[in-house]
Every structure is written in structure tokens, then in C-alpha cells.
Structure 1
Amino acid sequence: MLFGDLDVADVSGLIAAAVTVVQIAIPLALPVVLLGILKEEKANATTASAVSWTVIGGFLHSSQWPSLLSADSASTKGVPRCIVLITSMKTIFAVLTWVAAIVTPLGLYESIVEDSNPKRGVSFHYVKDPSVFGLGTRPRADLPWSRVCGASNWVVYGSVDHPVECPNSFSNVTIFSNETGDYPIVHKLDSHVPQYVIDVFQSGLENMEDSVSSIFDIQARSYSWQTTRDNPDNPHPDAIVHDNGKPYPRYDFYLISSNLLANDYLAIEGLVVDMKNGGIGFRNHSVPPKSKYGSTWSEDLLFIEPESQCVDTNLTFDFNFTTFPSSNRDHIDSLVLTDRGGFANLNLTRPNATTTNAQSDPRLWDRAYEAAWINNVLSMVFMNVTDVRNISDPNRFGSFNYLDSHVGKQFPMMNKSHTFLPMKSPDVPVGIRRFGLSYLYGYYLDGLDFGERPLYKNHFNVGVDHFDLAASRCTGQSGHDNNNINDLPAACGLVYGIARRVDKKNSSLVFELGSSWTVPLYSCITAVKATIKRVTFKFNGTDNLSSLKVTEIADKVYPNETAKPLWGVERSDRKLEYARPLWGLISDNYKGNVSLHTLRQESLYLPAYEIGPHGIAFNQQYQNLPGIDFYARQLVNMFGVAKPDIVPDYSWPENLATLQKWLELSSKAETTSKILNLIWTDLASNSVVGTRGLHGARVQPSTAGRFDDAFTGPASNPPPVTFMRKQIRYHWEYAVPALVDLSFAAAILLATVIFGYLGRVTPRKIRRYLNKTSQGRILTTYIFGGKGDTDSQATAVVPHTLGRRSTKKWVQIFGKIPVTVADGESYFLSIEMGPQNSQAPLLAGSVRRRGSPDAS
């Protein structure tokens, strides 16, 4: 290519530079050509007509040669300063103009900008996702909602071993109780969700943009069909199966892909995924018609996002790296728990994170801090660092009669044979490439009081069950609680950060035998909330989802309190272990309904869920209501209760890039919380999809097909779309030479106007001075012996015709007289009348020529 990688501005500048070179070179070259044409005789004498000398002089002195060669016309000696200043400005102005001509075009550039007039009523159409998420999202047939509460006759959940009616369902179950126990009498088990229930939790959409989803616009990315059948081993023989044994759908979870390293806003099948801060927005993706330069618009979307807080326990695990890892297992030596102030500087006053209004003041950090405090106190009691008054009474936890620790004190976690401890459970998630997430507080002590030579006597018999208090105080919920809008869906646990080298010799990604490492330990909590966010999209390129970019995700701003969304949570007498409540956006018509908890604010912390004794959620996974299931299940999966073949093992970063990222984030408690947000988001984005888009609401087809196959029609009020257009723009710093040049020009023009207005300069005066300084007139005046200006001399010669002769008359009478100019002596010129030309006019007898006889 001729200009390589140059842009339009660069090419314009090069063209301007070439033109400027020509503009400078040609005016310099033409005088050279002219002088080359002039013939010189002896003593460098040249003969030409008087008017020719006027033209030659004007041409030579109007070029840049006088300045370059310091000729007389460029002299500053003996010349008044004002004249020097004015005459010098010509050169300065010329140079500025040359520079401006070259530099000014360099500031030009083309830009794709938004049109100033957004278009309304633009029709949107669905676009498919060509990525693995599009390929991995299950096709869906007529997929009704299903809801299962309590325990069915084919599985037992915790203490609930019988089916329960779901709130507002068509089921009919009564419980008969006697001294031997509770017995269900099942008249009907119906998994269907009544339409009027759906209508209630979608009613709030009437006050929202068409793009906002409800809980019933959230579907499972993966699903299967469930059938319950009679079980002869059922302890309740009167129980019957759901839906008379007909199949009904259930929500499943399978990993499609991980986006942990994306650090961007992503548009994938059915979702907008915030991999910068965490959170997923529900949207069945649709776009406006393709345009040459693309388009942009903004929508309100329902988002569900995690909110995490971490507190430093001020305890670290320290070890030496002895052998290179094999089979995803680090070989470490001298594992110790180091007191960094978590024991020695313990606040002896027990914290209390109880809150009466968790929706407005969840006190997440306080909850994580209380759990960390309980974890540290029980660890101290286990290792006999301090005493305890009553280990079974949380309110009388520690008497703290002594505290046997100091900052820097180390407590062994391995026996002398380097055997991994704890011995009763898998090893503590500590290593040079490990990131530990554990729902069990105090897990690192399990087994250290066993064996022939235990590391610790554990005089107060502190066990794992005692550490459960830390988790329960942190989550603030129990399966025996009735559903309450102030119970949060929170998960708590210990986070073991990425190991960092103690010495600064090498990077923490350099695994060197004999090196020393330290692992921070944090107490963390993650809650989940629903909110409305304003999302800005840009579409350009091919007509599929790969060309849709999310450019901004921002909190929606409301003009006043009444404009904020009204959230509703299902109210019933069912306990969390029986049924997880529905939630959603509701209209003002349902405010005050006895079956609803309502709240008007920007966001809603989603309803709580039951957590079992080992951190497992008692979720009704045999149902198809992902809007009340998925967020809780992924909270549980995040803290490690997962099947390795389904959920990725986040405790082993897959590559050095992830390891480096988590190494940086886990160096502080404040940034460790971001890791939890991103893990939950990664799991959630693999879990569900949104089915509402601007191309219309989804219609359940009667035959198998993708959920985008049929729609009710386009949105009634789509957002305005701003189409992009090309515009020439300018970098103004390149205009500085031109602006200076224009300033000079403006000043000169202003002075011209002022002198003209005052009458100090007129065309008559200009013409007079041009004639006075005409080279030919000066020469003829000199030759014919007159003194004074040319007009007076000419008048003396031809009084009747030369008083105010025009140039034409002067040329006719004097201009054609040949004049010879040669080098003289002592810096003078030798000026003589040249040879007579047949065309030269006859002169009056009173005129004499130097070196010639008197004329008659």
C-alpha cells in the first residue's frame, strides 16, 4: 500500500507539506531563472528598459532572496524600528503559514459518533449465541412450572419426612398426629403453580420497562423430567405421587464454561453477566436492525447479584515447600497456625450482629466479624490458649482468665512425622496453589486432638458442632424459621487465601524447594439481592450475539421514593425447611395483601433458605422454579458442597493467570470478597437464563424447540435507539500554529481597517508610493539629471501631460528607454542610458543624458 499504516490526517499533512515545499521552492527558483535569462556584458553590466527594471526589482525583492542573502531591502541598520517590525512580519507570517499548512491537517480524524436524534419505535429481533453457552443451553419444550414442598414419599429432607402443601397450590395434605408421631393424609399432590400466583409476582412489571424480567422469566439452563412413583418402603402408605405419576420438569445444573478471567461485561445466551463486580441480568437477547456503523441503546434489566464481605481473622497458616506437587497435592512441611493478632489482640467483648431490619441494614461485615470472633475464641480454647466458662452456652463463652499467646506465636498443625493432619478428614485447603472455601469454621483443628500423641489435649472438648455456632450466627437463619422478609439468603465460611512467599527473593508464582509461604485466613459472608440496573448496549457487525457488546452497567436512579420498585415476598405459615417463598415485583394493588411481605426500595435481599448440619441447602431441587432455587444452590456450591463432576473445583486455579489474579485479590480481606462475588456469578451464569426480550415475551410451544422459537410479538414500547454515524473530528492541539497565524492576520487586517477608516491610507497614496519607489522611475530620474520625485521631473519635461500620469503614460514616455546598470566603484552603481532603441520615444531638448551630447 502506498501510504502504509498512515491515516487520512497523516496523508493530508504529507500533501500539505509537499504543497508548502513547492510554494517555497518555486518563488525561490523563479528569480534564479530570471537572472539566468538576463545577459551581462563587461563589468556585470545589464541593459533593459526602465520599466523592465521596475518589474525585475519588484520581482526580486518580493521573494525571500533578500532575507536569505541579507540584501539592502532586508537591512535593519539605520531603519526605524517600526519599519523593521512591519517589514519583518511578512517573513514571520510566511513561516507561520507554512508551518500551519503542514501541521493543521494532522489534527483531522474520523470518528464514529452517536446521532443526535435517537429513533423511537425501532423493531428488535432475536439473535442467537454462537458461543458454548448458546450451544450448551438446552432446547425446551412446553415447560410448565413445578413446585414441590416438604418431603415427598421418595426422599427425606432433614426432619421433614412427609409431603407438604405448597402455599397457594392445588395440593391437599392434612397431618394426623398422635402419640406415635405425625402422619400425612394426602388427598392430592399437584406440582403446578396456579396462574393467579404467577400473575401476582409479575404484576409489578406494568410499572417497568418492557425489558424488565419477573421471577417467572427465569428458567433453568439445564433441566430434566421427574416422575414420582409409589414406594412400598414409604413409612406413610397413604401418600400418593405428584401429578398422578405424570412427569413434571425439574431444575438441573451442569457446567458449560467458566468466565472467571473475563473481567468484562458479557452477553451470553439469556444473560448479561458482570464479571467485573459480580451479578447476572436476565435478558433474552434481541437487537435493532443492522446499520452501517452500529447502534446503541439502554435498557432496565432485573439483576441478581452477590454481596460479599470478608473479615481478616488475623491468623495465618505458614509452611515450607519441600517437594514439587503431584496429583494436585502440594507437599508441604512444618505447617503452623500463626497468631497475627487474632488471639493476642482479641477483643474480649463478644460482638453481636443481630439486626431487626436486615433489608435496610443487613450488617454483613458485622456478621462475618462475629463469626471470626467465635472461630478464634473456640480455636484458642481448643489449643488451651485461654479458658472457657461454659462451652455449651454461647452467651457465657469465655472467661478469659488467661491468654497464652503473643503476636507471632506459632501453633503446630502437623506432627513430627510430617503426616497431614487433620487425620479424620481431608487435608486443610492449604498449599502453594490452593484457594480454600470451607463452610466449616474451625475445620483446620479437626483431628489434632486424636492419636497416641495428639498435638492438643482439647481440655474443654471443643468439637465441630461448637464451631457451627459461628456459621449460624453469621447466616442468621434456621430451617425452623417461618419465611420472613428479613431473613437473608446468606452463606458463610472460612476462606484460605492463595499462599504468598514470605521471602521477597522471587515471585509468589515461582515454586522453589525450601521456600517459606504464608496463607491468610478470612471469615466471609455472601448474600444475594435482586435489583434493577440500567444497561447500555452497542450492536455492530454480524447479526448474532457476538456483535452485541455491553458497554455499561449502572444502578438505576429513581427521581423519588414512590418511583422505586415495590417488592413482594410470599407470606405463609410454612417453615423454610418446608417451602422456599416466592418473590418478585408487584403492583401497588397488592400492597398490604395478607399473603405478602412488601417493601419499596431499590433492591431486595432474596428470601432465605434452609441450611443443613453440613452446609447443604434443603432446597426443593425436585421442582422447576429456578427463580427461588438457583441463587441458594450456588451459594452452597460456592463454599464447596458440590459434586466435582458438575461444579468446578475452585480450590485449584486452572492456570497461572487465575492464580495470579486470586493471589492479588486474596492479599486483603476487602478484595477477597470480590473472588466470592465472581465465583457465585460464574456458577449462576451456568445455571439459569432469562426468557424476556424486546422481541416479545416467550410463548411456550407445543412441540420441542428453543425458547426463542415463538414470541407474543415485539415490545409495545421499545427503548429509543441511537444509530451511529461517521463524523470528521479534530484534535485541537494541532491547530495552534493556524490559530497563531490567524491572530497575526486578524491584527494586520484590523490595523488596515483602522488606517483606512482614519483616511491615513488611500489607494491614491498607495499608488503614489508605489510609483515613488519604482525602480525604473528612479533610474530615469537619475539619468535625466532631475532631483526630486519622478512626477516633478516628468512635469518639468512634459508639463502638459505628466502631472499625474498613469503607469501607462509613464511607460509610453520613459519606461521603454534602455538603461544599463553595471558595477561601479565604492559600493555605487554605474547607471547609463543604454543603446538607442528604435522604439524609444524622442526626448525634449532640455533633457540631458549622462555621457551623451546635449540634445537639440
Structure 2
Amino acid sequence: MTLIVTRITVAEAATIINAFITFVSFTIALFLVVLLVKFLPTTTTAVAWSSISRTLHSSLWPTVLRTDSRTGQTEGVVVSILSRLGTLTTILVAVAGVILPLGLSEGPIVDGSFRPLKGTYIPDNSPLALSTTPYQDSFVYGRQCGYLLPVSCPGNDDPDSTSIAPSILEIFNSTPHGPFSMNFRRFYPGDEKKNCSDGFEASAETFVLRNDIFFADGLIVDMTAEQPGIGLWNQTVPTEVEIGGTWSQDILWIEPETECVDTNLTVDYFLFDTLQPGFDEFNITDHGGFYNLTREPPSFDYDGQNINLRQHAYKGAVYSNEFAMLFLNATRNSSSEGTTYPLRDDLDMPGLSRSDLQKISVLPLSYLNDTESIDISCRGFENADTANITNVHVHCGSFLGPPVRTDGGDSRMFDRGSKWAQAIHACSSTTRVSVQTVTFSSNSSTDMQGLQINRDKSGLNVLWATEKADLNIRDVDLFWGRVDDRYENHSSLWTTRSNRLYLPAGLSSSFPALAAGMPAAAHTQAWGRVYDAGFGNDELQDYSGQSDYAIRAKLQNLVGLDPIRGNSQIRNLVFTDIMANNIIGTRTNDTLMVAEHLKTLSYDFKYAIPGFLLLAIWIPSFLLSTLFFFTRSVTFTHMKQVFNHISVGRVVVGTSALRVQPQGGGTPYMPVLHNNHSNVDMRDSSSGGGLSGHRRNKSEWAGTVGKTPVILDFNNSPSSTRNVMEEDIKLMGIYSPHV
């Protein structure tokens, strides 16, 4: 049987139990003495009377009834203080036993020392996991090289072979942070001609609405707007812990990086009967994009891994505005703040159209004409350039930001005749990878829902490498990753030691698709989706907010907080969401260094005051007693003599060392012994035979005869000259009727 009580803590329950036990322990002693008095024999041995006396006078009844032996009936300051301290400690023990547990409560969970524990894979049951191809270990890595015709891949002499050279496998498997630590989330098995797995794109669930870091099948996903990304982690946790633990792992992170520049142009329009703009006319409004356009040709630094994305975005914005100005027959001098340029939705505009409005839309940099050269200028590389570590993959494009009302109304209300505007931003994006230390903390060895994740975003300073190949960007996707230090000067590698690596451009940069057997190149496909003109009409997921109004509201909020950073954050969040839906980490750790979680207790010392008072009495008592025993001022033999000679049995039969001290001096003497047949008045003359007498301060006996001086004289006691045992037996034989 189990009793369940609500609204009470463990400490409060312990206090109630202790109070009950204390009450019972005190009252049961009182009740037992009452029963003892009731059944007290009139005749028994002296030893029995000593035992009975000890039981009676050690109870609280002498204090309650204010009898002769109550506290305070002593002569001398020291004896009086010690007697009163005995009563005080009894009270303090009772109070402390009740109050002390109230200060107890469950303390925080703390980490023990780190020790190696076995790591176990815990399967996920999320929608993302359900959409993952089973038997991921059947995935086959491979690579195809060549733009129009097959060419030999690095380390492979056969242009028709998709197999990867053993030397490359050895190099990029020298650490767990490389291209072979990930798979496509969904894939087809390879065929005879192409002996590698083909990935295919899909979307199981979107994480764009989240703003935290969490695990999803095979990944750690960070959807915070400041620095989103995915970490390759095949959920390996310690299971040999009772209430969880804390451990750290170095994990390969793939992160987007985007910079946007405001073109200072907006698209303005009115809403009428539907969510589509009224009629087929809308305006380009100049807020400095034309009349304040720079006359200096923009440029950026070609500095390899030290890439400046803002320079790329700025160059794209300048050329985009210049081509738009030419298309609209505008000039810097003819335009001014607020000048509008009407546009019609017809076939003369290859980019911007009415269908792009009232949602977040992707536009080419030359959104009013078709000029590919602007995109090449923004990216900083051409497909015919050499693929290497310095030619970093960059994607460029223009965006129509979230629609906002410019008539003072609420952007969540679609009033008929309301006026709206959408800003045009030019953006550039790339992908960086790093090895970051991620700390995990779990309160369970089996439940992953309470897993807490924190990552050090600074990254470790490690050796990164890409293949060194004499091939054009459009012909090869280079393998990349962290490699062992012994490969730092390897002839087949480009290497750099840094806390991050910007991924190189390759074949997939020109043809955004999941490259067969190459999940390490999936980032180019993700950016292709982000910058695709069909962004708002994506059949997999609506990132434009056209039909998903929750996403629309979040993206509007990001831009409302910061129009420049907000547009960058939108690109990064969408990239991360696409990558999480199409990539999975596969590396597991068999052994983890884990600090096991330990339960603790906390205590509030305000409830310890009775205990401190008790200690204040106990500590000096203990120290003084120890000192007296050590110096032999008090011995066990002496204590035994005192206890024996003041017992009531010895006093009655006359073998006690207690002697009456005559007034005026003289030899102490033993008082006359009573015999068993003497008539002794058992009544307390102060009580009148009733219970009310115990309320008086002192009994008459205590004030008269009780003041008689009595000395404890061991030298003149019978036991000082004869054997104690013989004397006791003799006296017991004389005075006991039972012997």
C-alpha cells in the first residue's frame, strides 16, 4: 500500500515524521512511569529500588510535578548550571530533531569526474528519421568528373570509373571530420555504369520556425538566427549512467555565411480584391539606388580563404542597379528620392513580375534584363577557372524582402486598397566548415528529448586540405576535410591551418544538383535552391511565406529587427533547413569521456540554529570531559563509586558513602535505618495529599530537612574498609525479607 500526498516537500514530510516520533518518545516515557507507579510493589530489594528510582527520576515527571529532585534544588553555581543544562539539552534535542530536517532540499545535479564509458547509438523517431533511407551502411561513395565528356578524376586513370583512389580514401579518412563522415539522407543504389549511390532531394519537415539548437536524426541542427548550421553527429550517448551525464565531442560543422547589401530600391504596389496586386502595374521606387549610385567600378580582394562576402554583395548590387537604371531609361541626374518607375507585367521583363510580389522572392541580379555577366562578377570565378582551395564557391542573387505596409497599417492585415512595399537586396553566400567542440548534457541514458547541447562556435585550429588537381571548376568536385598533421606538405593536397575552411567551387557549382556519390558537395545544391528563381514556388517547402503564414511572420520579424542582417539570416536559415533534410552524419564514437551526473542535497542553515545551540553545549562538554579523563581528574572507577553510593538502594540499607554533616562540626554519621515494619508517612506534607501541591515553589521538606548538609565520604563508608560485595550481600540478607 502506498500513500500519495500532494503539496508537501520531502523535508516537510521528514519534519512531520520527526515531530510525531519526538512526541511519542517523550509521552510514552511519561505514560510508562504512570504505569510503573500504579503497579509499584511495596516491598522489593534495595537493588530494585535503585533501578526504580533511576527510572522515575530520569523521566520528566519530577519537573512536571516539581518534586524534590527537580532541576534547581541544588547548592552551588556549577552544579545548578549543569543541572539546568541537562534539561535545556533535552529540550534542544527535541526541537532540533523537528526543525533540522526543514532545511533539507534536493540540490543541483553536479558532474562527477570524467571517465571512459561505452557510447551507444540511440535511434530517432522523428519525421526526419522516418524519411531517411534505412541501411545507411550500404551507401557507396563515388565521383564523376567532366563537364560534357568524362575525364579522369584525381588519383584515377580511368575516366569512366566512379571509384575513389585508395590514396584519397586514406588521406581523407585520417580524421573523422571529412567527406566520408556523411551520406545523402535518401539515395538510390548505383547501377553497373555508375557504381555509386545517387541522392535525391526531399523535405520531411521544416525547422525554420525554431530558434534553438537540437538533435535530429544523424545531425545537430542549430536554427538560431545569429549563426545557424548543422553538425554531423550520429546520436551516440553513454548508457551506463543512472541519471545521465555530461560529455564533449569534436564535431564537423557545416555553416552558411551570407552578406546582403540594400540596393536602395523598392517595389511598391496596392492591394485590391485579392492578395495579388491590383491590376498589372507596380512601381520601382528610387531611395538612392539610382540617383546616389557610385561612379567607381566596384572590386574585391582575391585573397583565397580570406573571403570578404560583403565586397561580393556590394559589387552585385552596384551592377544590378546600373543595369536596372539603363533598362528604365533613368539617370543619376534625372532621378531623386521617391521617384517611381512604373512597370507592367509583360514578356519584356525576364525576372521581376507580378507573381513575385506579396512573398519573399528570388530574383537574378539582372532582374529587368538577362545579363549573366553580373552573376559572374559577383561570384568572383568562372567555370573555366582552375579548381583549387582559393577559388571558393560563392552564390549571388537578388531578393525581394518580406512585404511590409507603407500606409501605417498592420502587415498582418490585407486591407483592400492598402499600400505595400518590398525592398530589393543583393546577397552573396558561401559555405564554411569547422571542427567545433560540442558539449552534451542528458538527464537520462535512454531519453533524448531532454538533451542539452552547447557548442563552441570559435572552432579548433586544425589542418584542412583539398585535393590538388589540374582540372577546371566545371570538371570536378574536390574532396575536402580535416586531415592528419602528417599530410601538411603532401604533394597531392592544398592545405591550410585554420579554425575554418571555405569550401571550394566545383562541378556542382555550375549544375546545382546532388552529385552522385558526393554528399560533401551537397552544399552547392542547397545554395542553388536558396537562389533559385522558383524559391517562392518550391514544390518541397514554401520558404517564401506565400502560403505558410507562420514562416511569413517570422521572416517579416527578422527583417523588421534589422533589414540588412535580417535578409542575410533568412538565406542562412533556409540553407540550413535544406541541408538538414538532405544530409545525415554517419560517424559514431564507441567510447566517450563522461562526467556522470550526481544527485546532491542542499541545506538552509537558518533551520540549523537549534542544532548550533546544541553544539555550543556539546563541544565544550566533550572537550572538558576528554581533558578530565586524559589528566585522570575523573576516572571510570570514581564515577562508578559515585553512581553506586548515591543509588537509593544503598542509601536505604546504609551502605552508601553519603553521611549527614552535623551542625557545628563533628564526625559525619549514617542516619537511622528504617526497617520494613516501620510506619512511614508516604504523603508529601506540602501537597495535602492532592495533585495541586506540585504547583508550589518548594515543598516543606525541601525547605527544612532537605537543607541538611550531606557529605559523600568514601573514606568512612563501609566499603572503604571491607569488601564491597560482601558488605552488600550481608546488608541485603539482614534487611531483605526475600533473602
TM-score normalised by the chain length of structure 2: 0.69
Match of 2:371 in 1: 465
Q: Is the 8 A contact 1:148 1:622 kept in 2?
A: no
Match of 1:619 in 2: 511
Q: What is the distance in 1 between the residues matched to 2:97 and 2:408? A: 58
Q: What is the SS of the residue equivalent to 2:384?
A: coil
Residue from 12, 36, 59 that aligns with 2:63: 59
Q: What is the SS of the residue equivalent to 1:489?
A: coil
The answer to whether the aligner puts 1:108 opposite 2:106 as a matched pair is: yes
The 5-angstrom pairing of residues 272-311 of structure 1 reads 272-276=220-224, 277-287=227-237, 292-294=242-244, 296-311=246-261
Q: 1:110: Cα distance to partner? A: 8.1
Match of 1:216 in 2: 180
Q: Is the 8 A contact 2:201 2:514 kept in 1?
A: no
Q: 1:527: Cα distance to partner? A: 0.7
Match of 2:542 in 1: 649
Match of 1:553 in 2: 455
Q: What is the SS of the residue equivalent to 1:101?
A: helix
Q: 1:404: Cα distance to partner? A: 3.6
Q: Is the 8 A contact 1:200 1:586 kept in 2?
A: no
Q: What is the SS of the residue equivalent to 1:137?
A: coil
User: 1:223/1:758 Cα in 2 relative to 1: closer, same or farther (>3 Å)?
Assistant: closer
Match of 1:133 in 2: 128
Q: 1:512: Cα distance to partner? A: 4.2
Match of 1:737 in 2: 607
User: 1:821/1:136 Cα in 2 relative to 1: closer, same or farther (>3 Å)?
Assistant: closer
Paired letter, 1:192: T
Match of 2:360 in 1: 435
Match of 1:170 in 2: 157
The answer to whether the aligner puts 1:720 opposite 2:718 as a matched pair is: no
Q: Which deviations, in whole Å up to 9, do the C-alpha atoms of 1:305-328 show, x marking residues without a partner?
A: 211223344444455543453xxx
Match of 2:729 in 1: none
Q: What is the distance in 2 between the residues matched to 1:28 and 1:314? A: 89
Name which of structure 1's ranges 274-283 and 633-642 shifts more when overlaid on structure 2: 274-283
Q: What is the distance in 2 between the residues matched to 1:351 and 1:815? A: 128
Name which of structure 1's ranges 306-315 and 474-483 shifts more when overlaid on structure 2: 306-315
Match of 2:730 in 1: none
Match of 2:437 in 1: 534
Q: 1:524: Cα distance to partner? A: 2.2
Q: What is the distance in 2 between the residues matched to 1:53 and 1:537? A: 64
Match of 2:553 in 1: 660
Q: Is the 8 A contact 2:394 2:505 kept in 1?
A: yes
Q: What is the distance in 1 between the residues matched to 2:295 and 2:613? A: 78
Q: 1:679: Cα distance to partner? A: 1.1
Q: Which deviations, in whole Å up to 9, do the C-alpha atoms of 1:246-297 show, x marking residues without a partner?
A: 7765443233332323444444444333333432333455555565444554
Q: Is the 8 A contact 1:621 1:629 kept in 2?
A: no
Paired letter, 1:735: F
Match of 1:633 in 2: 525
Q: Percent identity over the alignment?
A: 21
The 5-angstrom pairing of residues 179-198 of structure 1 reads 189-196=159-166
Q: 1:355: Cα distance to partner? A: 1.9
Q: What is the distance in 1 between the residues matched to 2:497 and 2:108? A: 47
Q: Is the 8 A contact 1:538 1:549 kept in 2?
A: yes
The answer to whether the aligner puts 1:372 opposite 2:301 as a matched pair is: no
Q: 1:724: Cα distance to partner? A: 3.9
Q: What is the distance in 1 between the residues matched to 2:154 and 2:234? A: 30
Name which of structure 1's ranges 515-524 and 488-497 shifts more when overlaid on structure 2: 515-524
Q: 1:604: Cα distance to partner? A: 1.4
Q: Which deviations, in whole Å up to 9, do the C-alpha atoms of 1:77-128 show, x marking residues without a partner?
A: xxxxx9xxx99999997998488435213x23585x54425125x3x55554
Residue from 464, 467, 480 that aligns with 1:566: 464
Match of 2:78 in 1: none
Match of 2:301 in 1: 355
Q: Is the 8 A contact 2:245 2:442 kept in 1?
A: yes
Residue from 200, 216, 228 that aligns with 1:252: 200
Q: What is the distance in 2 between the residues matched to 1:622 and 1:638? A: 14
Q: What is the distance in 1 between the residues matched to 2:196 and 2:619? A: 89
User: 1:656/1:541 Cα in 2 relative to 1: closer, same or farther (>3 Å)?
Assistant: farther
Q: Which deviations, in whole Å up to 9, do the C-alpha atoms of 1:727-752 show, x marking residues without a partner?
A: 442234x33331x4455445555676
Match of 2:168 in 1: 200
Q: Which deviations, in whole Å up to 9, do the C-alpha atoms of 1:343-381 show, x marking residues without a partner?
A: 66x47474745223231x211223223333444455455
Match of 2:336 in 1: 405
Q: What is the distance in 1 between the residues matched to 2:284 and 2:86? A: 87
Q: Is the 8 A contact 1:821 1:832 kept in 2?
A: no
Q: What is the distance in 1 between the residues matched to 2:146 and 2:300? A: 29
Paired letter, 2:63: F
Q: Is the 8 A contact 2:257 2:432 kept in 1?
A: yes
Match of 1:848 in 2: none
Q: Is the 8 A contact 1:337 1:411 kept in 2?
A: yes
Q: What is the distance in 2 between the residues matched to 1:6 and 1:685? A: 44
Q: 1:686: Cα distance to partner? A: 2.4
Residue from 507, 522, 545 that aligns with 2:425: 522
Q: Is the 8 A contact 2:197 2:516 kept in 1?
A: yes
Q: What is the distance in 1 between the residues matched to 2:5 and 2:280? A: 60
Q: What is the SS of the residue equivalent to 1:309?
A: strand
Q: What is the distance in 1 between the residues matched to 2:296 and 2:151? A: 40
Q: 1:601: Cα distance to partner? A: 1.6
Q: Is the 8 A contact 2:114 2:593 kept in 1?
A: no
User: 1:293/1:331 Cα in 2 relative to 1: closer, same or farther (>3 Å)?
Assistant: farther
Q: What is the distance in 1 between the residues matched to 2:417 and 2:301? A: 48
Q: 1:60: Cα distance to partner? A: 4.2
Q: What is the distance in 1 between the residues matched to 2:242 and 2:499? A: 38
Q: Is the 8 A contact 1:226 1:250 kept in 2?
A: yes
Q: What is the distance in 2 between the residues matched to 1:139 and 1:54? A: 79
Q: What is the distance in 1 between the residues matched to 2:340 and 2:544? A: 24
TM-score normalised by the chain length of structure 1: 0.60
Q: What is the distance in 2 between the residues matched to 1:59 and 1:754? A: 29
Q: Which deviations, in whole Å up to 9, do the C-alpha atoms of 1:198-219 show, x marking residues without a partner?
A: x23541543x3xxx14323433
Q: Is the 8 A contact 1:350 1:373 kept in 2?
A: no
Superposed CA RMSD in Å reads 5.7
Name which of structure 1's ranges 600-609 and 639-648 shifts more when overlaid on structure 2: 639-648
Q: What is the distance in 1 between the residues matched to 2:57 and 2:141? A: 105
Q: 1:651: Cα distance to partner? A: 1.1
Q: Is the 8 A contact 2:464 2:495 kept in 1?
A: yes
The 5-angstrom pairing of residues 806-821 of structure 1 reads 818-820=684-686
User: 1:650/1:58 Cα in 2 relative to 1: closer, same or farther (>3 Å)?
Assistant: same
Q: Is the 8 A contact 1:565 1:600 kept in 2?
A: yes
Match of 2:384 in 1: 480
Q: What is the distance in 1 between the residues matched to 2:437 and 2:665? A: 93
Structure 1: tracts of 5 or more residues without a match: 39-51, 63-72, 74-81, 153-162, 172-188, 228-242, 388-401, 447-462, 612-616, 695-717, 764-790, 835-839, 844-856
Q: What is the SS of the residue equivalent to 1:673?
A: helix
Q: 1:689: Cα distance to partner? A: 3.0
The 5-angstrom pairing of residues 87-166 of structure 1 reads 97=96, 100-101=99-100, 103-105=102-104, 107-108=105-106, 111=109, 114-119=111-116, 122=118, 124=119, 126-138=121-133, 143=140, 145-152=142-149, 163-166=150-153
User: 1:282/1:32 Cα in 2 relative to 1: closer, same or farther (>3 Å)?
Assistant: closer
Q: What is the distance in 2 between the residues matched to 1:638 and 1:355? A: 25
Q: 1:194: Cα distance to partner? A: 4.3
Q: What is the distance in 2 between the residues matched to 1:441 and 1:635? A: 15
Q: Is the 8 A contact 2:267 2:421 kept in 1?
A: yes
Paired letter, 1:509: R
Residue from 570, 574, 580 that aligns with 1:685: 580
